[in-house]
Amino acid sequence: MLDITCPWCGKRHETEFRYGGEAHIARPENPSGLSDADWADFLFMRKNTKGPFAERWCHVNGCRRWFNVIRNTASHEILATYRMGETPPKLPGGAT
């Protein structure tokens, strides 16, 4: 089980959280101008990175707020957590 540090509440067990997948996928600015391929890319295509990966979690059984985590998907190590809207911290090796 992961120990995740909520940026508001501090360190809690993974079972208090819900996973939200890849972070920083911005909704296209101009939806009606998008091709089918662009839509497919936005809706379905994912980085699925092996290594440091920026992802969203929600503290559902706590403050119920969303935030971002950088976690190594090969080792489960959590490298950083930061609030929504904040820029991801720079990590050695140029993560995400």
Partner 1 sequence: MVKYSIFSIARNALQGHRNWPEQWRSPEPKTDYDVVIIGGGGHGLATAYYLAKEHGITNVAVLEKGWLGGGNTARNTTIVRSNYLWDESAAIYEKSLQLWEGLSQDINYNVMLSQRGVLNLAHNLGDVREGVRRVNANRLNGVDAEWLDAEGVKDFCPIINISKSARHPVLGATLQRRGGVARHDSVAWGYARAADARGVDIIQNCEVTGINRNGGKVTGVETSRGTIGAKKVAIVAAGHSSVVAGMAGLRLPVESHPLQALVSEPIKPVIDCVVMSGAVHVYVSQSDKGELVMGAGVDSFNAYSQRGSFHVIEHQLGACLELFPIFSRVRMMRTWGGIVDVCPDASPILSKTPVEGLYINCGWGTGGFKATPGSGWSFAHTVAKDEPHPLNAPFSLSRFETGALIDEHGAAAVAH
Binding site for partner 1 (CB under 8 A): 1-2, 14-15, 18-19, 21, 36-37, 39-41, 43-50, 53, 55, 71, 73-76
Cβ-based nearer residue to partner 1, 14 or 86? 14
CA distance 8 to 82: 10
Among 53, 43, 49, 44, which residue's Cα sits nearest to residue 23?
53
Q: Is 34 helix (H, G, I), strand (E, B) or coil?
A: coil
- Which of 34, 62, 88, 91 binds Zn ion (CB under 5 A)? It is 62
Decide whether 8 or 19 has the Cβ nearer to Zn ion. Answer: 8
Q: By CB under 5 A, tell whether 79 contacts Zn ion.
A: no
Q: How far apart are CA 87 and CA 36, in angstroms?
A: 30
- Positive or negative, the CA dihedral 83, 88, 92, 95 is positive
Sites for Zn ion among residues 9-48 (CB under 5 A): 9
CB of 56 to partner 1, least distance (A): 11
Three-class SS state of 2: coil
Binding site for Zn ion (CB under 5 A): 6, 8-9, 59, 62-63
